[in-house]
A and B are shown apart, each in its own frame.
Chain A
Amino acid sequence: MTTPLLSLQGLTKAYPGVIANNNVSFDIGEGEVHALLGENGAGKSTLVKMIYGLVKPDSGQMLLKGEVFAPVEPRAARADGIAMVFQHFSLFDALNVAENIALGMEDPPDMRDLAAKIREVSENYGLPLDPYRTVGDLSAGERQRVEIIRCLLQDPKLLIMDEPTSVLTPQEVDILFETLLKLRSEGTSILYISHKLEEIRTLCDHATVLRLGENVGECTPADTTASEMAELMVGSELKTPERAAREMGEVALDISGLSVPSPSEFGTALRNVHLTVRKGEILGVGGVAGNGQDELLGVLSGETLTEADAVKMDGQPIGRLGPTERRRLGLLTAPEERLGHAAAPDMSLTENAMLTGSVREGLESRGFLKWGEAAAFAERIIEVFDVRTPGPENAARSLSGGNLQKFVVGREVLQRPEVLVINQPTWGVDASAASSIRQAILDLATGGAAVICISQDLDELMEISDSFAALNEGRLSAPRDASGLTVEEIGLMMGGAHGMEVAHV
């Protein structure tokens, strides 16, 4: 066998209290699309950060084409032909594409030459992009193109992609895959990080599975079923949530003709949104991030006030009611951003239980706070939702992302909502916890609550929703029955390929 492009040998990295990678070894061949598969917290990010020179391994070594490779910083890794597209883009909204790319270069050429180069590379790889457009006006898929082209300009030997499809519609995913396959045919290796099994099966030549920081197995995705890979990833068989047959009641929440201007320059305006949810119904709202999800949640939580009639609960206009009054009526919400929005990072879990629980759990009387009962409520959330923490006196920020998510979701679910609105319920949560959160949402609906679940995880939405609608540039598509929807139809509801062209290869 020939020398692999990159060989990882016994990489270990420990952080205080946790071993992120334990003795991980695998090889990435030339021109290979290699999948790195694992749950949140399995150590994927730490591993690629070591390859990219952001983190130094405690022990073990890497060989690049047979020679010792120990990048001290990303610049060194880039010089050796390693490029990376991060999950979160680092782009300046107010600058145009070419300026953004120039900012990341060691010694940027003249702006006109750079623009010409960007055009050339983008056309070559089927990712057309106008170098003079302002990044703030681009869709998430187009922003990702900027990042990819920024990498391709360096002529990389290894391209690392961290969960690239999480911001794309199914149609945009197809375009991306064409590009990646073209790159592979030119001999570029790709390290593809994901937990979406089907896309790994269509795209990748080889897969390495990480669990709890260790390499637990390798496979050829095309020859392995998705459930086999899932078992490798999770370490046990997954329970799929059960949907009890349930009766739909009357309309619980009704939004009609709702338009809200964008709260900030690069935010999203909501345009003429209509939706209804009945008691016992789960409405899934899909869409690529940044198409109005936060704004829709704000309108429902009462953070953004609207005309009274635009939002109705049980037929009563509530558009002008603030968060506290809405909670009193039984409309509860769980925002996406856990730290700083759903929870105050430096406050204890007890205080965070007080944050939304004071009205419905009776944690205050005449304005005076009952801390004992708040602590008991926090304890109950911790117990019922299996939140891993020494106790409710700990600060919210000391919890891992997944555990805090369980706390935030549990806090609302346990308050017996009449209507629950939840944005990204299982974002950053491991597979078993995600399935218990979904089960809790389903149980809530079975008990007669109306649920709006906003998510970017289409599989999740298909698993739990009764009806489905998608947000695209602040517009909500007409809700449709979720059973029988195909991936193509969903993709079109989400805005299709947003007018992006397919690779001409």
Chain B
Amino acid sequence: MIMLEKRPQPSRVWSMATPLVAVLATMFFGGLLFMVLGKNPVEAIKTIFYEPLFGEFAFYYRPQLLVKGAPLVLIAIGLSLGFKAGIWNIGAEGQYIVGALVGAGVGLAFYPLEAWYVFPLMVIGGAFGGWAWAMIPALLKVRFGTNEILVSLMLVYVAEQFLASMSLGLMKNPDGFGFPGSRNLNDYASANSWISQDTGMHWGVVAAFIAVIFSYILLNRHMLGFHIRLTGEAPRAAKFAGVNPKRLVVFVLGMSGALAGLAGLFEVAGPSGQISLNFNVGYGFTAIIVAFLGRLHPVGILLAGGLMALTYIGGEIAQSNLGLPASAIQVFQGMLLFFLLAVDILTNYRLRLSAGKVA
């Protein structure tokens, strides 16, 4: 019989090793899944993990890693602050959309003025949009005790309607021959987040790295970060230590909203280029997986974001080269979170094999 025995304290080794074990288990069971679908499992796994980095067309895929990874890391860093405090913002996708809308709105309002301050104002607008969208669940929670999981999630769908209305109405490109979608910001030099399009570098990548460093310092060296962790570990002890729970809810939800909004802005001003009906591709939801895969640790999230971006790109290659269905790739990504949570138990418990005794 396999027994679980609680460890006197969480194992450091396991807390580092579990993401690795989860990745390996996902590879194994994902391979099985691909085999059932009639594909060669080894080739499929190799296509997903190896091709984008070292394959024949890696020169094309590597910049894509930065493009896909940056918004994931940026959003996940914000989410991790809330998750650490036990505050569950599930609606980053909505904050991402609203951030992009407000940021792009600021840029489009200045069009065609070329000035150095246009982009910074857009950045502020993007952060503000995400922040304001996250304030809705935050204030409802603080004032009326509503559940932030439900409210933030529902607001994603509101934001999607808002996005559709904007790309068909107010922000529609006047020179766009009636097609839905805004002007392409890539054609507007002052409102462009690219640093170097060939390498995939844009200001969102820079922001993601800054967010990682900022979050690391906040969580490990600052009272506010300590209070965030304390609230997640033991809410009553946090209150005893002097934490104002309501202020903390407003801070972490606002922070995660602002970062998601920034991610949206950098995306719309760079890789995506315009507000359109299908602007959002689910970064806000995938970032939840990234946050947990990275163990809510800033550096872990950086690595997890890279890994997730890899499965995105590798998944696309596998779709086109091997004909794997897109949903199989999504199952594969879901497996990663599933295994991570399952293996996570080893951090706090150890397995013991014991002969089952019959009394």
Contact = CB atoms under 8 A, between A and B. Distances in A.
A369 B222 contact: yes
Interface string B204-231: 0000000000000000011110100110
Interface stretch (A245-253, A306-314, A351-359): A351-359
A339 B239 CA distance: 14
Contacts of A324: 241-242
Nearest to B244: A322
A395 interface: yes
Contacts of A227: none
Contact of A367 (B224, B241, B359): B224
B9 A303 contact: no
Interface of A: 16, 56, 70, 72, 301-303, 322-324, 327, 333, 335, 337, 339-347, 351, 354-356, 358, 364, 367-369, 371, 394-395, 397-398
B244 A369 contact: no
Contact of B240 (A335, A367, A394): A335
A346 B233 contact: yes
Given A341-B234, A395-B9, A303 B223 contact: no
B236 interface: yes
Given A303-B240, A323-B240, A324-B242, A72 B221 contact: no
B339 to A, nearest CB: 23
13 contacts: A56-B359, A70-B359, A323-B239, A323-B242, A324-B242, A345-B233, A346-B233, A347-B230, A347-B233, A367-B222, A367-B224, A369-B221, A369-B223
A18 to B, nearest CB: 12
B236 A341 contact: yes
Interface of B: 5, 8-10, 221-224, 226, 229-230, 233-234, 236-242, 244, 359
Contacts of B244: 322
Given A56-B359, A344-B233, A347-B233, A395 B8 contact: yes
A132 B148 CA distance: 40
Contact of B234 (A56, A302, A344, A358): A344
A369 B226 contact: yes
Contact of A355 (B5, B221, B237, B359): B237
Contacts, number: 76
Nearest to A333: B240
A394 B9 contact: yes
Contacts of A72: 359
B359 A354 contact: no
A303 B10 contact: no
A324 B241 CA distance: 7
- Chain B interface SS verdict (over half): helix
Nearest to B224: A367
A345 B234 contact: yes
Contact of A322 (B9, B222, B224, B242): B242
B242 A398 contact: no
A342 B9 contact: no
A340 B230 CA distance: 10
B222 A368 contact: yes
Contacts of B226: 351, 354, 369
Given A346-B9, A355-B237, A368-B223, 11 more contacts: A322-B242, A322-B244, A324-B241, A327-B242, A339-B234, A341-B234, A343-B237, A346-B233, A356-B241, A395-B8, A395-B10
A57 to B, nearest CB: 12
A367 B242 contact: no
Instruction: Please give me the 3 A-B residue pairs with the lowest Cβ-Cβ distance, nearest first.
Output: A324-B242, A395-B9, A323-B242
Nearest to B243: A323
Nearest to A395: B9
Contacts of A16: 5
A341 B240 contact: yes
B236 A340 contact: yes
Contacts of A340: 234, 236-237
Nearest to A346: B233
Given A72-B359, A367-B224, A323 B241 contact: yes
Contacts of B8: 395, 397-398
A328 B111 CA distance: 54
Contacts of B10: 346, 395
A302 B233 CA distance: 20
B223 A364 contact: yes
B230 A344 contact: yes
Nearest to A343: B237
B216 to A, nearest CB: 13
A390 to B, nearest CB: 11
B237 A342 contact: yes
A327 B241 CA distance: 10
A367 B217 CA distance: 11
B10 to A, nearest CB: 6
Contacts of A345: 233-234
